[in-house]
Amino acid sequence: MDEKGAMDIPIKLVIALAVGAISMGVLTQFVNISERMVWRDMRVLLSYKGGGSLQVSVFDAETGQPLNGATVEVRYPNGLKLHTLGPSSSSYTFRLPTSGTPYLARVRVTRPGYLPWEGQIAVE
């Protein structure tokens, strides 16, 4: 400290700290972008076969390969059904209630490493 009570900080230290802070900001942005690029798209096929039978099939959008292990959620008026596909299964058939009046069922499919997929289908 000098006579006025001010600290004598070397200019090289100040510059090094500033460059370090800026570098950390740039690296943080790069890491966040690279993490987002890891997420992949999935392709989901919904097939309503009548009588409340809804088949959901899940595929990798890029390769077209069947995608197992996804969790499928089907919401309908006054109800919800969930199913996680097994290690050797990429599709599942849900039995939904029928009332004679058509309604929309909302389908959401999630799987680690993939963007969530959402869609809807009319059920009679």
Please list the pLDDT of the chain residue by residue as tens digits (124 residues): 556 555 667 888 778 777 777 777 766 666 655 555 679 999 999 999 999 999 999 999 999 999 999 999 999 999 999 999 999 999 999 999 998 899 999 999 999 999 999 999 999 8
Q: Note whether 68 and 86 are within 8 A (CB).
A: yes
What is the CATH code of the structural domain delimited by 42-123?
A: 2.60.40.10
Side-chain half-sphere exposure of 54, counting CA atoms within 13 A: 29
Give the CA distances from residue 20 to residues 24, 25, 103, in Å, rounded to whole numbers and listed in that order: 6, 9, 58
* pLDDT at residue number 99: 81
